[in-house]
Amino acid sequence: MLPFARVSIIGMGLIGSSLARAVRAHMPTVRLTATDADPAVRERVRDLNLVDDVADSAGAAVVDADLVVLAVPLGAFAAVGAEIAPELASGAIVSDVGSAKQIVIDALGPLMPPGVHLIPAHPVAGTERSGPDAGFPTLFEGRWCILTPPEGADSAAVARLSEFWARVGSRVEVMEPRHHDLVLAVTSHIPHLIAYSIVGTAADLEGVTRGEVIKYSAGGFRDFTRIAASDPTMWRDVFLTNKDAVLEVLGRVSEDIAALQRAIRWGEGDALFQRFSSSRDIRRAIIDAGQDTADPDFGRHH
Amino acid sequence: MLPFARVSIIGMGLIGSSLARAVRAHMPTVRLTATDADPAVRERVRDLNLVDDVADSAGAAVVDADLVVLAVPLGAFAAVGAEIAPELASGAIVSDVGSAKQIVIDALGPLMPPGVHLIPAHPVAGTERSGPDAGFPTLFEGRWCILTPPEGADSAAVARLSEFWARVGSRVEVMEPRHHDLVLAVTSHIPHLIAYSIVGTAADLEGVTRGEVIKYSAGGFRDFTRIAASDPTMWRDVFLTNKDAVLEVLGRVSEDIAALQRAIRWGEGDALFQRFSSSRDIRRAIIDAGQDTADPDFGRHH
């Protein structure tokens, strides 16, 4: 028995289009509807035949859906929420794939009509690509999907949404929204912010040309550029909507960088060695947990 | 006509053992000698049959060599230099694979006997693995190798060493040592320092467990842990020996992070978007230059 019969996806970028493909692959009898604010994307979704119906507006897309998934940048949630609210069927579950979660409850909660269940979710998966052509059906396999139901949420609705994500291959976890936002600030938002920052620094440095930065990037920099090639709109909104947690962790990051800077300045080799030595344990644990490939250099061809 | 007939490699970790394998593959008639300070590594190199002779000391390894390559951490250069100097054959070229270059000229220059040519080199290649088992013969293919001859260096010696690195698949560039140290601070040393720092921050953060950091690392953090799994001794020495350039660039990095922090605090979305948008051009240029794979997510299996 499928958890949902009619699923609507609002926003058909990397995540939305991957979810559509995954639903087709694992729950082929689900009736899939999608839309996107960009007419060119809607056209492309039609051409790729990713869903059963492409609607021209978010409101039209959600009529009769028993699951609605918002896969748009967080900054668009309030507007999309206002647009879909009058069209939602009673008993529908509204969810999303956003990288910050308290903001989803704050932005969408007050808009939801009675009888509609808001259960925010965050599949911790992605690549640096964007758009409907970038998606693929196995994106969520073996990755965690974190559900952050608001206080008093319907437990049957949470169970149905858990089942849905499990069907597309995810491992599901339930978490308190503010705790989610702190954990993800550490494991995702800060790494992206730092990568964007360093790539910018390198591009603008006096005394080193951009050509040199590109040419000799194999020493480590190129990995930062991959992360910093992610969608700028999405990430702008993540930082603006998870501001408190990001600023809190960033404060610690700056302190720790300053401590390393001081150790280098004063030639404290033992302190540097000790700090650097502990990282390998975490790397090994991530590989053991199935969250990264064990191939050296990500298995890049040599 | 081969550039060298008898090559000695001091230090058989990732880079030294990769070089031995590459020489065997591309210049099989070269007589290869190697050594390592660690008796267990010497034993392993014998078992793997990576070279013709395994010497028990650096001094014994360089007798009769026409090319000597130091592949030990930069902190060991002065001691190794003192040990090999009396044994070097006249006309020999002494080179290395260290990630900082002015220090090599400072540490080894005064020790070299007359008639020996010191031509430092830096192959910009590597993985996060260490030791003789981690090496592979194609590591240098398509990667840049930067030669930093001291002022007044013999141009024939530079040409021979260029030919040697070209034979193992590298693209060779000649650069002024201090400029090399600044460029590599940007493209390699700072990314490693920041990765080590962030991995340490994440491991010690109040309110987020180490288990959570591991579990949800697929959002970006896992890429940092790969870089931070590199050899801690090697990297300690890089930061201590390229101190000036690293501290200079790190000052700019901290400024730029502070600017982003301020933009987040004040909700300056346009500034964030603008900053994030420019990174994709650099990413594209790195891929076009053949310095990284174009596969999304490094082609990790999904």
Q: Where in chain B are the domains?
A: 6-175, 179-267
Confidence band (pLDDT; 50, 70, 90) for A129? very high
Strands B121-123 and B144-147, bridge-based pairing? antiparallel
Residue to test with chain B: of A264, A266, A293, most B Cβ within 10 A:
A264
Which tokens sit at A285? 């644990």
Q: Concatenate the DSSP letters of all residues of B93-124 into one string.
A: EEEE--S--HHHHHHHGGGPPTT-EE--EEE-
Closest to A225 measured CA to CA, from B125, B283, B257, B226: B283
Which residues on neighbouring strands pair with residue A9, listed in sequence order?
Answer: A34, A69
CB of B262 within 8 Å of a chain A CB? The answer is: no
Which tokens sit at B270? 């346009």
Check if A6-175 and A179-267 are the same fold: no
Q: Do B236 and A272 lie within an 8 Å CB cutoff?
A: yes
Q: Which of residues 159-178 of A touch B (CB under 8 A)?
A: 173
How far, CA to CA in Å, does A133 sit from each of A41, B3, B219? 9, 49, 21
Which residues on neighbouring strands pair with residue B34, listed in sequence order?
Answer: B9, B54
C-alpha A145/C-alpha A156 separation (Å) is 17
Question: Which residues in B lie closer than 8 A to residue A221 (C-beta atoms)?
Answer: 186-188, 191
Which tokens sit at B167? 């034979």
Q: Do A279 and B252 lie within an 8 Å CB cutoff?
A: no
Which tokens sit at B127? 């993985």
- pLDDT greater than 90 at residue A9: yes
The residue type at B213: V
**B35-86 tens-digit pLDDT:** 999 999 999 999 999 999 999 999 999 999 999 999 999 999 999 999 999 9
What's the per-residue H, E or C state across A117-165?
Answer: EECCEEECCCCCCCCCCCCCCCCCCCCEEEECCCCCCCHHHHHHHHHHH
User: Nearest CA to CA, how far is A91 from chain B (Å)?
Assistant: 31
Q: Do B198 and A196 lie within an 8 Å CB cutoff?
A: no
Strands A93-96 and B171-174, bridge-based pairing? unpaired
Q: What is the structure's pLDDT at B162?
A: 98
Q: Which residue of A has its CA nearest to B255?
A: A201
User: Nearest CA to CA, how far is B127 from chain A (Å)?
Assistant: 5
**A206-242 tens-digit pLDDT:** 899 999 999 999 999 999 999 999 999 999 999 999 9
Q: Do B265 and A247 lie within an 8 Å CB cutoff?
A: yes
Cβ-based neighbour number of residue A125 at 10 Å: 23
Q: Which residues contact B290 (CB under 8 A, 6 or more apart)?
A: B142
Q: For Cα atoms A102, A108, A114, give the angle at the middle one, nearest 5 degrees.
A: 125
CATH architecture of B6-175: 3-Layer(aba) Sandwich (3.40)
Q: What is the structure's pLDDT at B231?
A: 96
Q: What average pLDDT score do residues A14-29 get?
A: 98
- pLDDT greater than 90 at residue A36: yes
Residue with tokens 């999304």: B296
C-alpha B106/C-alpha B13 separation (Å) is 24
Strands A144-147 and A121-123, bridge-based pairing? antiparallel
Fold of A179-267: 6-phosphogluconate dehydrogenase C-terminal fold (1.10.3660)
Closest to B29 measured CA to CA, from B52, B9, B12, B46: B52
Return the sign of the alpha-carbon dihedral for residues A261, A266, A267, A272: negative
Q: What is the structure's pLDDT at A301?
A: 73
State the 10-residue block means of pLDDT for chain B, 302 residues long. Answer: 97 98 98 98 98 98 98 98 98 98 98 98 97 98 97 97 98 98 97 97 92 95 96 98 98 96 98 95 95 92 72
Q: Do A191 and B219 lie within an 8 Å CB cutoff?
A: yes
Which tokens sit at A39? 């007419």
Q: Do A183 and B236 lie within an 8 Å CB cutoff?
A: no
Residue with tokens 């003789």: B132
Residue to test with chain B: of A144, A175, A279, most B Cβ within 10 A:
A279
Determine if residue A89 is left, alpha or beta; phi over 0 gives left, psi from -120 to 50 gives alpha, anything else beta.
Answer: beta
CB of B294 within 8 Å of a chain A CB? The answer is: no
Yes or no: say if B49 and B57 are a contact pair by the CB < 8 Å rule: no
Q: What is the structure's pLDDT at A87?
A: 98
Q: Which residues contact A59 (CB under 8 A, 6 or more apart)?
A: A83, A84, A86, A87
Confidence band (pLDDT; 50, 70, 90) for A300? confident
Of A246, A264, A280, the CB nearest to B264: A246
Q: What is the structure's pLDDT at B124?
A: 97
Q: Which residue of B has its CA nearest to A293?
A: B300
C-alpha B146/C-alpha B99 separation (Å) is 10
Q: What is the structure's pLDDT at B301?
A: 74
How far, CA to CA in Å, does A215 sit from each of A290, B94, B153, B183, B186? 33, 26, 25, 10, 12
Question: Which residues in A lie closer than 8 A to residue B15 (C-beta atoms)?
Answer: none
Helices B269-277 + B279-288 axis angle, to 10: 10
Terminal-residue alpha carbon distance, chain A: 47
Residue to test with chain B: of A216, A272, A281, A284, most B Cβ within 10 A:
A216
pLDDT averaged over chain A?
97
Question: Which residues in A lie closer than 8 A to residue B124 (C-beta atoms)?
Answer: 216, 218-219
This prediction's pTM: 0.95
C-alpha A69/C-alpha A18 separation (Å) is 12
Q: Which of residues 12-71 of B touch A (CB under 8 A)?
A: none
- pLDDT greater than 80 at residue A91: yes
Q: Do A256 and B197 lie within an 8 Å CB cutoff?
A: yes
Residue with tokens 């995702």: A188
ipTM over 0.85? The verdict is: yes
Q: What average pLDDT score do residues A118-128 get?
A: 97
Q: What is the structure's pLDDT at A302?
A: 72
C-alpha B243/C-alpha A43 separation (Å) is 54
